[in-house]
């Protein structure tokens, strides 16, 4: 029988997603969310080419695409951060323009998201893989609560199996 929720009313984990800077702007053909349209199951904001063009002109730097080396460092950073903090990392997938992590933690998802992003940035800088003063990440990120075993397994499957072609198939310029 599936567990409905933990007796202490804490989620089994979180699906944390964060994007690289400038790679998914409002108006994009994939749709988007904003602070007014950010409830679970709410429809995405419709694509709008004029809004997208406007947002592209407002970028302070070029959109960030992660290299193979950067992705490997970020993956290691996420693993180390979870280990040091005693969080359970179920699965992570670092793509060229976003990161997914399924994490079990006895704290709120905002703390997990902030730690993963800040430690990844620090480690990129330490290894001379990010030299700009600004962050490689877009503001905020997605924090989905995983309450049941099914939610947890679906998130793990999504991160592992539903991200398109394996990252090794991506042509990468070092």
Say yes or no: 53 and 91 in one domain: no
Q: In this predicted structure, what is the pLDDT of residue 154?
A: 95
Burial class (CB within 10 angstroms; exposed 0-12, middle 13-18, buried 19+) of 160 = middle
Burial class (CB within 10 angstroms; exposed 0-12, middle 13-18, buried 19+) of 70 = buried
Say yes or no: 58 and 68 in one domain: no
Number of domains composing the chain: 2
Q: In this predicted structure, what is the pLDDT of residue 174?
A: 41
Closest to 104 in 3D by CA, of 142, 76, 154, 146: 146
For residue 144, the cross-strand partners are: 15
Say yes or no: 45 and 12 in one domain: no
Element (H, E) at 88: strand 88-94
Say yes or no: 34 and 113 in one domain: no
Q: In this predicted structure, what is the pLDDT of residue 88?
A: 98
At 65-83, the pLDDT tens digits run: 999 999 999 999 999 999 9
Residues of the chain below pLDDT 50: 1-3, 5, 169-174
Q: Does residue 113 contact residue 143 with C-beta atoms inside 8 Å? A: yes
Say yes or no: 57 and 125 in one domain: no
Rounded alpha-carbon distances, angstroms, from residue 108 to 83, 103, 127, 137: 17, 11, 29, 20
The pTM of the whole model exceeds 0.85: no
Q: Dihedral of CA 68/72/75/81: which sign?
A: negative
Say yes or no: 74 and 49 in one domain: no
Domain closes at, from 36, 62, 88: 62
The whole domain housing 46 covers 25-62
Q: In this predicted structure, what is the pLDDT of residue 37?
A: 63
């Amino acid at each position: 029988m599936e567990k409905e929720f933990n007796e202490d009313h804490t989620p089994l984990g979180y699906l944390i997603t964060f994007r690289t800077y400038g790679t998914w702007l409002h108006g994009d053909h994939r749709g988007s969310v904003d602070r007014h349209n950010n409830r679970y199951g709410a429809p995405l904001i419709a694509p709008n080419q004029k809004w997208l063009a406007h947002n592209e002109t407002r970028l302070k730097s070029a959109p960030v695409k992660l290299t193979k080396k950067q992705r490997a460092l970020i993956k290691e950073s996420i693993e180390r951060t979870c280990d040091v903090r005693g969080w359970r990392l179920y699965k992570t997938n670092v793509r060229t323009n976003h990161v997914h992590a399924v994490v079990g933690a006895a704290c709120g998802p905002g703390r997990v998201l902030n730690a993963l992003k800040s430690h990844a940035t620090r480690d990129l800088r330490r290894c001379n893989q990010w030299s700009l003063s600004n962050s490689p990440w877009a503001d905020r990120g997605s924090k989905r609560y995983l309450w049941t075993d099914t939610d947890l397994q679906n998130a793990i499957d999504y991160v592992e199996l539903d991200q398109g072609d394996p990252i090794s198939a991506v042509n990468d310029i070092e």
